Amino acid sequence: MRHHDDLALSLQRNRLTRRQVLGLFGAAALSGCASSPVGGGAILVGMSEDEEKNVDRKVAPQQFSQDLGPVQDASLNGYLGSVGQRLDANTHRPQMPYSYRVLNANYVNAYTFPGGAVGVTRGILVDLDNEAELAALLGHELGHVNARHAAQRQGQAMVTQIAVSGANLIGSAAGYGGLVDLGTKLGASVLLSSYSRDNEREADALGQEYMVRAGYPASGMVGLQQLLVDQQKEAPSMLQTMFATHPMSSERRDTAKQLAESKYAATNKREVGRERFMDNTAALRRIKPTIEACQKGETAMAGKQYGKAEEQFRAALKSTPRDYAANLLMAKCLSVQEKDAQALEYARTATAIYPQEAQAHKLAGVLALGQRDPAAAYEQLDRYDRLLPGEAGVTFLKGIAQEGMGNKQEAARLFSSYLTQSKQGKAAEYSQSRLRSWGYLK
């Protein structure tokens, strides 16, 4: 227990070391067969339709925040929603609570949760050429929802006894070496893990069917698949996450093309909606150089080329100084280089640019603890907690901040609250040790 006493003494003297801060974040780491809506065959699912919807309500906001939240452009999000609604009215499950948002993430991907909450990254949106390709992208995601692929995988996971309760959704604060797991009961790593090739083929077929029903040309799916095949050859690192969650192949493009030229041949004279797409995405496409610089910076970060990453983020900020994602990524990049004071300034700038998005508040709180400012840390962590309530790890860190401020009673309340959610691990051990030393536990 000596390390607990050392940490407590450091908090009392407001002299946390970087090693201790890193240790804190490491410590905080934390239904049968159904009928398929598509075709009516029996499928093994691990959740009911109500549970699918509940997953979206509880888990999707966390993942969307991990992808830096919806872009601050109501008209763009509205446009995406209008295309999605045109499609989802023509699906096998029109009763699902579908929703759509363009996310600030720079990587190339789109994904959906089992109840129909769809996210499209700005990184893929700026590469599309027309509305028909966008409809194909959304249609594919709706295909996963309607075939209940996530629910099926959840059922398979239960059968093979894959633990879901420990799955990590939140991931890491990148500036701290991947040590932060703020603990969500049901993890997106299971729900959004790689689909099988059969799942992908079915989602493609359904997506092409839905876009045709909605009045789009089937060739939009061919264009989307060709774009991804081309990018896989030219810049594979940009699509790593897309390939991880959606296995790609030229076979899928060829199948889409064959269907477009046979079953759906009559639809290919339809308008692809390029002018409408370009008009509605003009503001986003104007910052494409910023997005591309961020992509290169994140690739360099993944390769631990932090100096190169910093150059790319500076280029992004020179192009678009008020870009939320670029400011937050710069903060993470500087932090991993142990330039925490500079990093904190960028994190604070990000919170001012987009105060409704949680991630910058969390990182600012993390950095403020490292800068021995527990009051500022608590303020930022509390803002995060109000935006995305209920994360056990944040409760623990708020307790640490309160202890650092000398507020033992409030720290004890937070540590007790943490222990109601997690009773194992270093954070739980530390919480128990403080509660015992303060006389709250025997």
Query: So what's the pLDDT on residue 175?
Result: 32
Strand partners, 110: 120
Q: Check the CA dihedral 92-96-102-104 and report its sign.
A: negative
Q: Which of 313, 299, 386 is nearest to 346 (CA)?
A: 313
Question: Mind listing the pLDDT tens digit for each residue in 272-281?
Answer: 999 999 999 9
Q: Give 170's pLDDT tier (boundaries 50, 70, 90).
A: very low
Question: Mind listing the pLDDT tens digit for each residue in 218-244?
Answer: 999 999 999 988 887 776 666 566 655
Query: So what's the pLDDT on residue 79?
Result: 98
Question: Mind listing the pLDDT tens digit for each residue in 334-348?
Answer: 999 999 999 999 999
Residue type, 122: R
Q: Give 46's pLDDT tier (boundaries 50, 70, 90).
A: low
Per-residue b/e over 155-184, b at no fewer than 16 CB within 10 Å? Answer: bebbeeeeeeeebbbbbbbbbbeebbbbbb
Q: Give 435's pLDDT tier (boundaries 50, 70, 90).
A: very high
- Does the pLDDT of residue 164 top 90, yes or no? no
Query: So what's the pLDDT on residue 192?
Result: 57
Query: So what's the pLDDT on residue 8?
Result: 72
Structure token pair of residue 425: 């691990």
Residue pair 93/53 in contact by the 8 Å Cβ criterion: no
- Does the pLDDT of residue 21 top 90, yes or no? no
Give 108's DSSP letter.
S
How confident is the model over 63-91, as a mean pLDDT?
A: 96
Query: So what's the pLDDT on residue 35?
Result: 44
Three-class secondary structure of residue 119 per DSSP: strand
How confident is the model over 152-156, as a mean pLDDT?
A: 56
Would residue 390 be called left, alpha or beta, if left means φ above 0 and alpha means ψ between -120 and 50 degrees?
left
Residue pair 228/242 in contact by the 8 Å Cβ criterion: yes
How confident is the model over 99-121, as a mean pLDDT?
A: 94
- Does the pLDDT of residue 176 top 80, yes or no? no
> If you count them, how many residues does the chain have?
442
Q: Which of 71, 69, 138 is nearest to 287 (CA)?
A: 71
Residue pair 370/18 in contact by the 8 Å Cβ criterion: yes
Range with lowest mean pLDDT among 41-50, 66-75, 378-387, 415-424: 41-50
Three-class secondary structure of residue 79 per DSSP: helix
Q: CA-to-CA distance for 145 and 269, rounded, in angstroms?
A: 29
The better pLDDT of the pair 60, 386 is held by: 386
**DSSP H helices in 114-239:** 122-125, 131-146, 149-159, 188-191, 197-213, 219-234
Query: So what's the pLDDT on residue 27?
Result: 61
How confident is the model over 189-206, as a mean pLDDT?
A: 77
